[in-house]
Chains A and B, each alone.
Chain A
């Protein structure tokens, strides 16, 4: 059996590299489409300021994208180096979307991003616009394939286990890519990227406006990003609801943990707004509830019962007992693949094969047939993820999402009234909003991934079986190496971003050193200033 410290360190390593990597990804996803929107205005109106805007935001986009790719590449190798059993077990399914991502989306985005940056002089306006859209689609298609692969880990559809080859095999590619989880996950994640970009652009534009610099660009960018952001945030919330609904059907243990629901209650169940869950005592030490709200929120009905932790554990115990004969049959089949009795036994229990694996670590000599009821109960308790971490990760994401919606609604109102420059407090607040979507994104992933535990592939492959058998020293050394390297990447990104932002767009006399704000109020002042600048 793989040393549990090695498994923990492998998990830490993946979590750390993924969370670092994901500091770059959402901005790339969203900024690409924002630049496309800016360039669309340039092509349709012919106004040079929009080209300047597109070039400026594209500069920041490229810095971010380059570091996103650098941090992402190592992760693809990590599957092979640190999760070799997992890679062998589901490589047939997992490999396909990953390869398509590399071949199609990655090449597409990398090729066109060069043209987007250096092609201004060589391409016509419309050709350049097309290239920018292809970059935007390419970056989001990259995300699509990775998210399809991740969705398979959350809701493994379109594949079945082959007891002869001892690995999962792809059954239906269309079920894999059109799974409800993959769809909702992609849209939620991609649009969360749009929200991130919109906050980033409004934050930097507000910074310029506050200092009365690059006003022509800042005002237009702010207006466009505010509209972009308000719609995107509404979308992210809608899709968040859909994802909770879809995910809840596929992963009831994740849902029970997210809502800190220890006991199954008759519908309609109460919603825990705040709680202090204790995994040891299997209850909330403190909770503030709103009655009747959880059931309609999660199931979109008033009558469907939501399974609590008690039900999850009882169900897991039953499934472990049913999965044990499947694991035992596999042992026979590994020596004699033609054994008809073993095959029949496997087929009638294979639905719970993963649960059978779950008890292996507790069974004497790892022989599941020797597992006692106490071992089964221990393994069943493992079937519930960390409730505290889940409950609060989810709430941080949702809370920040609602705060961002309020921010964008105000941003749109102020911008449409041409009043934003008079709202000094808002201009001061906006740059401080920039970290918010990044935090929400990270907590989103924590919700998704902690919630999948104890599985790497939900219901099929336990995490403790999935890792490679490295030494602890190797894992510690590589973890420190990654943290150091990625911290350097973050410092590089921040330094370059701050440098480019301080410098601002190449002005051509359109925005820089705008005249001092006239003593007119709101809209009239803004209109007067725009006339002067333009």
Chain B
């Protein structure tokens, strides 16, 4: 059930993304570029952090105490 729900949510997100892509692609190409560009910038930065840890083989950390 949980997997199905996840699948449906991701499908919904994909549909929203495609619809936004079609509408913004036609009328607001720079807005669309902002959306895609921001996602790319955020994800590349995030990948840079994750890569730093993975590549340099650091040990895993647990949650800090007190949180």
Contact = CB atoms under 8 A, between A and B. Distances in A.
Contacts of B65: 508
B22 interface: no
Contacts of B64: 48, 51-52, 508, 510
Interface stretch (A35-43, A109-117, A478-486): A35-43
A228 interface: yes
A313 B45 CA distance: 49
B28 A178 contact: yes
Given A186-B31, A224-B46, A219 B52 contact: yes
Contacts of A499: none
A50 interface: yes
Interface string B44-67: 111111101100111111111111
A484 B52 CA distance: 46
A33 interface: yes
B20 interface: no
A239 B57 CA distance: 38
A227 interface: yes
A220 interface: yes
Interface residues of A, number: 51
Contact of A227 (B48, B59, B67): B48
Interface stretch (A187-195, A378-386, A465-473): A187-195
Contacts of B59: 531, 534
Nearest to A184: B30
B49 A224 contact: yes
Interface string A194-205: 100000000000
B36 to A, nearest CB: 11
B42 A33 contact: yes
A48 B46 contact: no
Contacts of A174: 27
Interface in A113-137: 120-121
Given A41-B50, A224-B46, A227-B48, A235 B61 contact: no
Interface in A280-311: none
A24 interface: no
Nearest to B63: A48
A194 B41 contact: yes
B14 interface: no
A152 interface: no
A40 B38 CA distance: 14
A70 interface: no
Nearest to A53: B49
A327 interface: no
A183 B35 CA distance: 12
A241 B51 CA distance: 33
A242 B30 CA distance: 9
A47 to B, nearest CB: 5
Interface string A223-235: 1111110011001
A44 interface: yes
A235 B37 contact: yes
A530 interface: yes
Given A41-B46, A242-B30, A235 B53 contact: no
A236 to B, nearest CB: 10
A162 interface: no
A458 interface: no
A34 interface: yes
A33 B41 contact: yes
A418 interface: yes
A470 B29 CA distance: 43
A50 B49 contact: yes
A226 B45 CA distance: 8
Contact of B56 (A52, A194, A225, A527): A527
B40 to A, nearest CB: 7
A510 to B, nearest CB: 7
B49 A235 contact: no
B34 A191 contact: yes
Contact of B38 (A33, A45, A121, A177): A33
8 contacts: A33-B41, A34-B45, A36-B42, A37-B42, A40-B43, A48-B62, A49-B61, A224-B49
Given A225-B45, A534-B58, A534-B61, 16 more contacts: A37-B45, A37-B46, A41-B46, A45-B53, A47-B61, A50-B49, A174-B27, A183-B29, A183-B31, A186-B34, A194-B38, A224-B48, A228-B45, A235-B37, A239-B30, A526-B56
